[in-house]
Amino acid sequence: MTHHHKEYDVVIVGAGIAGAIMAKQLGEQGKQVLILEAGTGTDGRFFDQGKEKGYESYMARFFTAMAKIPNAPYPNNPNAPQPLVTDIQKPPLDKPVSDHGYFVQYGPDPFASTYTRSEGGTTLHWLGTCLRMLPEDFELKTRFGRGRDWPISYQDLQPWYEIAEQHIGVSANADVQTYQQIDNPSVQLPFEANYDYPMEQIPQSFLDQYLAKGLQGMQVEIDNQPYPIDVVATPQGRNGMPRGDYRPVGAVGNPDLGQRCAGNSNCVPICPIQAKYSALKTLEQAKNTGNVTIETQAVAYNLEVDHKTQHISKVHYKRYHSTKSAAYDDKTVKGKVVVLAAHAVENAKLLLASNVANSSDQVGRNLMDHPTMLTWGLMPCKIGAFRGPGSTSGIPSLRGGAFRAEQAAFRIEIGNWGWSWPEGAPIATVPELIDEQNLFGPALRHKIAEEYPRMFRFGFLVEQLPDPDNRVTIDDQYRDQLGNYRPVIHYKVTDYTRAGMAQAKEVSDAIFQRLGVEPFTKYKTSDPGYVQYQGKGYVYNGAGHLVGTHLMGDDPKTSVVNREQRSWDHPNLYLVGCGNMPTIATSNPTLTMAALTFWAADNVLNALDQY
Amino acid sequence: MYRLTDFYRLSATLTGYDEVELQGTGVGPTYCKTLSQWVRQDVIQELYHRAEEIGSLECESNQAQFYERIWNCAKLGPVARNIIKMWYLSIWYQLPADWNALYGVDDFSADKQPVEDYVISSNAYIQGLVWNALGSHPMGAKQPGYGTWAFPGQSAKPLNLD
Ligand SMILES: Cc1cc2nc3c(=O)[nH]c(=O)nc-3n(C[C@H](O)[C@H](O)[C@H](O)COP(=O)(O)OP(=O)(O)OC[C@H]3O[C@@H](n4cnc5c(N)ncnc54)[C@H](O)[C@@H]3O)c2cc1C
Ligand code: SF4
């Protein structure tokens, strides 16, 4: 390898969706691009190539994993360690949980989200929900006196949303996604006239239809104001029926069947037929431009600054030989432009380790997620649980409204896989039927047949505000085996968010009552995510939506990047990923981040023209 | 040595699936082998033998015998429960430590238990009976096809949605 002798137009750190979009856009314009990727690769990326190292090896790992957690299919790699949901503990009051897993957590509340460090990044195991943000989400401070405003508006981002939706291949119907049918103007979304998504809406599950009918006309009251409860299909980054001559990238299998989502019900952690979008598809397109090189097993650990120009002059990285040992070569590479796309936490870590881009002291701060509260129960009749994509609909009616001055907004996700999230059903729950309920033979079979198809859960994705004390830092004491920093995290869930959780629980109770759902929700004090609000207990989980660690703003004193997503401090350094987002609002963040990344790629191209 | 026919007969009683259904999964021989890997031959023989003596569980007095002589028996109960879990979940769970102390160790080998619970194989996961029992398909395999989730599902009765 001779990369360290060569100067690239652009060096990108990270081969997730953000890095892949950037590489593809630049490669298509003839720019010479190198992607440094910390994780291992899949060689032949698609299903039918390379059984041993390819995508299929992930499937085998998944099938035989005891805990089917989001990272289960992807190799554990001590040279590019990643957080696991099974590592999450309640931080003790007096000392950090330093020994458990990758994150070092100081609390007071545990940060419960994870990501993936292998080629393709976290979209390997994302669910694929692709919602736009609401116009009011961009102006939280102005409208509600909370959080921050974005330096851009919904209108500014709107054309980039369209590009991102076309690229990911989102399945949805625009007339449904405007939310014009919802009697709450705060949530309504302006779409460009005549615009539609590239693929038709994924059919709603039987459960969705059942809920939609049962909840028709339902309202809840917040601050004496009525809000409707409407079930709406969710836009999804998985293949449905293409509109016109649109064809999704990299679909495998039978072109009449395999291209579409076939209902493997396994989107998190891995879609066996790659009907779900992952960044591997964009990387394939990037490579096909002939101008993009991906170097895997390459962990960037330092950015060197030319103090005369303030340009990033070199990227230092460790190229390890295998996942089995810590042996590595120390290398450097130059790019006219450097783009960090290593994910919110890793971007912040790399900036802090290099002591760059931080004149505002905001790097690593304002870490946000969607604390996700679940409620679950048994429907009065069989609704055919454990089928289809993880979620095909939600209840978006409380994503916005005047109440945001006082408490968090939230989006309700309808889960299609029974109690798999809260209880690990069926694998984790069947032993109890045998060991404690003493069921066997036909009685066991009958119990499962009668009860499991009635299992049902909601997920409430609750908004969090940017808080400078919720942060990622680094500490010399905590390093991984390559000698790189481990993320040290301080995190709390404030009353604003807790009030949203309490409100969400009330809405859930009202829905359960209306539908005759037998509740089974239990919030145990021993749960790591257990929190209290006004004397009542709730439990949150991580959503995997890590936002805010290098946020965008219009003032270099209070933000890390400008609206072009360029570092205020270094003219040739761009940051991409959810870390740029000043607030998290209620939509899963990746679509918005992808839209921003297309925009950033345009800005990089313009900048390169000036060299 | 393991006896596949005995294994299927006992498994049918324990799982509530008939022998033809069990054979259809194709993983019976693997499970039978797994059993004899972790449980002493004489214990397995005793289990088969008692099950045969008790006979069909359709009559109530046989059921009482089954509970007494197998299900609640300190020696055979945990093995019987492990066999059900193997079929339903494709996992071999470690037998309890106190069971192991009494029955797990034979004269010839010191360590007769795996160090942790494990999934027997990829194919076993796919063939787990629990998926069929709950009226669906194993998550990640045996895909039912585009849009099938919009219909009531094999086990759900069609509902009146008008
Ligand atoms: C279980 C789960 C479900 C989710 N579901 C959804 C959803 O439905 N909708 C949604 O919008 N979002 C969802 N998300 C979030 C979504 O996956 C992420 O927002 C998105 O994938 C982030 O993309 P990225 O490119 O910024 O980072 P990543 O995809 O994490 O990519 C970063 C890449 O950089 C590499 N890297 C890291 N450090 C270094 C280094 N030092 N040097 C070189 N390379 C490095 C990593 O290995 C990785 O490949 C989910 C997340 C999880 C965990
Ligand atoms: S439901 Fe299945 S086929 Fe569809 S995206 Fe999820 S895992 Fe892939």
Note whether B136 contacts A265, CB cutoff 8 Å.
Answer: yes
pLDDT of B1 reads 45
Instruction: Return the DSSP state at A131.
Output: P
Among A54-58, A248-252, B83-87, top mean pLDDT goes to B83-87
Residue with tokens 């979940």: B89
A300 lines ligand 1 (CB under 6 A): yes
pLDDT of B114 reads 81
More confident site: A6 or A150? A150
What percent of chain A is helix, strand and coil (3-state, nearest 5)? 25, 20, 55
Q: Which atom of ligand 2 is nearest to the CA of A270?
A: 7
Classify strands A455-462 and A410-415 as parallel, antiparallel or unpaired: antiparallel
pLDDT of A344 reads 98
Give the percent of chain A with pLDDT over 90: 86
Lowest pLDDT segment from A75-89, A159-173, A331-345, A582-596: A75-89
Q: Is B88 on the interface with A (CB under 8 A)?
A: yes
The tokens describing A73, both together, are 């299919």
pLDDT of B108 reads 43
pLDDT of A96 reads 67
| ipTM of this complex | 0.94
pLDDT of A43 reads 63
More confident site: A94 or A90? A90
The tokens describing A515, both together, are 């539908």
Mean pLDDT of chain A: 94
User: Residues 28..47 of B with a Cβ closer than 8 Å to A: which?
Assistant: none
pLDDT band at A337, cuts 50/70/90?
very high
Residue with tokens 């120009």: A309
Q: Which of A74, A115, A122, A319 to mutate to test the pocket of ligand 1 (most atoms within 8 A of CB)?
A: A122
Residue A437 pLDDT greater than 50, yes or no: yes
Q: Is B91 on the interface with A (CB under 8 A)?
A: yes
The tokens describing A448, both together, are 């499962």
Of B89, B117, B139, the CB nearest to A430: B89
Is there a contact between A50 and A41 (Cβ–Cβ < 8 Å)? Answer: no
Is there a contact between A582 and A466 (Cβ–Cβ < 8 Å)? Answer: yes
- Rounded to an integer, what distance in angstroms lies between the CA atom of residue A606 and that of residue A609? 5
Which are the contacts of A254, defined by CB distance < 8 A and separation ≥ 6? none
Which pTM value belongs to this model?
0.95
Of A420, A438, A453, the CB nearest to B155: A453
Q: Is B150 on the interface with A (CB under 8 A)?
A: yes
Between the CA of A427 and the centroid of ligand 2 the distance, in Å, is 19
Q: Could you read off the pLDDT of A364-382 as tens digits, one per residue?
A: 999 999 999 999 999 999 9
Lowest pLDDT segment from A503-512, B28-37, B144-153: B144-153
Nearest to A589 by CA among A238, A113, A130, A83: A130
Note whether B155 contacts A420, CB cutoff 8 Å.
Answer: no
pLDDT of A339 reads 98
Q: Could you read off the pLDDT of B99-150 as tens digits, one per residue?
A: 888 887 654 454 667 888 999 999 999 999 999 999 999 999 998 999 999 9
Q: Could you read off the pLDDT of A156-188 as tens digits, one per residue?
A: 999 999 999 999 999 999 999 999 999 999 999
A380 lines ligand 2 (CB under 6 A): no
pLDDT of A1 reads 43
Q: Is B115 on the interface with A (CB under 8 A)?
A: no
Residue A90 pLDDT greater than 80, yes or no: no
pLDDT of A487 reads 96
For A259, how many CA atoms within 13 A lie in the half-sphere containing its CB? 13
Nearest CA residue ID for atom 1, ligand 1: A126
The tokens describing A564, both together, are 């072009």
Residue A434 pLDDT greater than 90, yes or no: yes
- Contacts within 8 Å (CB) and 24+ apart, A315-321: A315/A11, A315/A13, A315/A36, A317/A36, A318/A79, A318/A482, A318/A484, A319/A1, A319/A295, A320/A79, A320/A482, A321/A297
More confident site: B2 or A365? A365
